[in-house]
Amino acid sequence: MAGLSISAESRGQFAAIARVRWQIFVNSLRTVQGRLEMVSRLFIGFSFAMAGVGGAIGLAAASWYFISHRRSVWLALVLWIIFIFWQLFPVVASAFTEAFDSSALLRFPLTYSSYFLVRLVYGSLDPATGLGWLWLLGIWIGIIIANPQLSVPSALVLLIFALMNIFLARMIFAWMERWLARRKTREIMGLVFLLIIISFQFIGPITGRLLGRQHPDISRFSEFVLPVERVFPPGVAASALENFSRGDFARGFASLGFLCLYAAAFLWLLNLRVGAQFRGENLSEAPAPGVPRRVARGAGANPQAVPLRTGWNIPFVSGPVAAIFEKEIRYLSRSGPILFTLVMPLVILLIFRVSPGKSGGANLLGHASNLAFPIGAAYALLMLTNLVYNNFGADGGGIQLFFVAPVRFHEIVFAKNLVHSAILALEMFLVWLEVVFLYRPPALWYTITTIAAVLFAAPVNMMAGNLLSIYTPKKFDFGTLGRQRASNTTAFASLGVQAGVIFLGAGAFGIGYVLHRLWISTVLLLALAGIAFVCYDLVLNRLDRIALGRRETLISELCRT
């Protein structure tokens, strides 16, 4: 009876949570922003559905070929691809992940089993999980078409492999949130993640060079890697499928048991973190109380006085703008994503430099090095849009101070845009230096034309970003992994803006390139830049009225827990 009562209580709690989530969704459709979010989610869902179905068909054909031609050892390759995608995509593409914070349910009388299951289910509602299930289904269909006798064993292997991926992804997110809750560990993890992402970028070029040269150590390297690969979960799952396809059921079930141990270990580690959170663990960055430093020891000195530090004095800008500029620089300099933004354009140019061309010759930028600076500048501007289109995401509840401070709202936005412009200018300077050292100094007119293109594209992106930051704000927590940094409406709108900017900029650049008169491109881009700056100034001067009219929505979205 006790077990039945607990089960009935859990079902009631799940039903209540589902009704609340459904009602929140229905209520969100009453606003224009909510309806736009729904439309954007439909487009995203359709895109991922097409990718899932297409990938499932391709993997079904590949698995059928491997099994029917007795090359089941190659199943490890497709399982490794699914495994890496399943674990990395939710972190990299955080704009498409589920934004529901299940820790808010801790204030209600949920049992631990109910809370754990809700945390597991809601955390798995992301495209990576859906695509992973579809792709594994395609593999299973291909296997049973090739050998119907493997339907049950392969279903067990792929089911355990899918559950293992879910447990591992949730475990990684849970422990990463624990580490990211502290600023020091957040900075360390940001640096580690940055190095991992950069290292992945060099796998293709290095592999291409080794294969192109027929390096003698490749065979020895593969002999070392293959046994090690079989120890990890994708290799274990592939070994189980390979043994079952050969009729060696003893080794197949042994590999399946090893895979179950992996799943159990990840589930146990996830249980440790969720259990600590359920018991009331509260991670905070507040410093421990201590005695303030003394300034002087003489008579009349205040023992509690702390020396004041004046703010930055930036020429040609007002005091409030300088103060917000300093605040933004100090906050962004401690952010891993900003470091990622600054480094990636430089890394991309380095990858182009070390990548071999066709038949071992020079690559595209080796033949047309003048295009290196325009490509690097365009990529730098593209990376900066992660900040521009959500100006107030990192401010959170601090947005309320902006409305009570004796400063106009357009000055606040201008200060943030000034920071973005400074980052972009520094980025372009570093890109130009890298082009000089890795390739050759770009021609003068290419440099001038590129600067003119950026002068056109930057104000257009900032103008659109300022409006979207007010109309579709989204809170961003640096201590939480995998939460989207901008709303889906903002993501789609930014794609439209980028498409328009690229079309006009590439058109102007193409006219001068075809006519061999780049000064024509420069004139056209400067004319577009003039129009863009006028529109930017008009929008900026109207932000006070827009922000005041939407202050309740802005505050409620950014103060949401």
The set of residues, in sequence order, having a beta carbon less than 8 Å from that of 33 and lying 6+ positions away, is 471, 472, 487, 489, 553
Highest mean pLDDT among 330-344, 349-363, 456-470: 456-470
Highest mean pLDDT among 58-67, 210-219, 393-402: 58-67
Asked which of 241-245, 327-331, 405-409, 475-479 is least confident by mean pLDDT, the reply is 475-479
pLDDT, tens only, 272-319: 888 887 777 655 555 545 544 444 444 444 545 555 666 777 777 888
The predicted structure's pLDDT at residue 95:
47
pLDDT, tens only, 507-527: 888 888 788 888 888 899 999
Mind spelling out the 3-state secondary structure of 441-499? CCCHHHHHHHHHHHHHHHHHHHHHHHHHHHHCCCCCCCCCCCCCCCCHHHHHHHHHHHH
Helix/strand/coil for 368: coil
Helix/strand/coil for 111: coil
pLDDT above 90 covers a percentage of the chain that reads 14
The set of residues, in sequence order, having a beta carbon less than 8 Å from that of 132 and lying 6+ positions away, is 82, 85, 86, 162, 165
What band does 457 get if pLDDT is binned at 50, 70 and 90?
A: very high
531: which 2 tokens?
A: 């129009």
Q: What is the pTM of this model?
A: 0.64
Residue 3 has pLDDT above 50, yes or no: no
> Between residues 121 and 223, which one has the greater pLDDT?
121
What band does 390 get if pLDDT is binned at 50, 70 and 90?
A: confident
Q: What is the residue-wise DSSP string for 391-402?
A: TTTTTGGGHHHH
122: which 2 tokens?
A: 């809601």
pLDDT, tens only, 84-123: 888 877 766 654 455 555 666 666 777 777 778 877 877 6
Cβ(384)–Cβ(423) below 8 Å: yes
pLDDT, tens only, 415-444: 999 999 998 998 889 989 988 888 888 888
CA distance 278 to 110: 10
> Between residues 86 and 209, which one has the greater pLDDT?
86
Amino acid at 506: A
Give 9's DSSP letter. H
Residue 554 has pLDDT above 90, yes or no: no
CA distance 370 to 439: 9
CA distance 94 to 103: 19
Nearest Cα to Cα of residue 407 among 521, 325, 504, 303: 325
The whole-number average pLDDT for the span 3-23 is: 65
The predicted structure's pLDDT at residue 278:
78
What band does 261 get if pLDDT is binned at 50, 70 and 90?
A: very high
The predicted structure's pLDDT at residue 296:
45
The predicted structure's pLDDT at residue 364:
55
The predicted structure's pLDDT at residue 5:
43
The whole-number average pLDDT for the span 491-500 is: 82
The predicted structure's pLDDT at residue 462:
92
The set of residues, in sequence order, having a beta carbon less than 8 Å from that of 323 and lying 6+ positions away, is 311, 312, 415
294: which 2 tokens?
A: 């003394």
253: which 2 tokens?
A: 């079930």
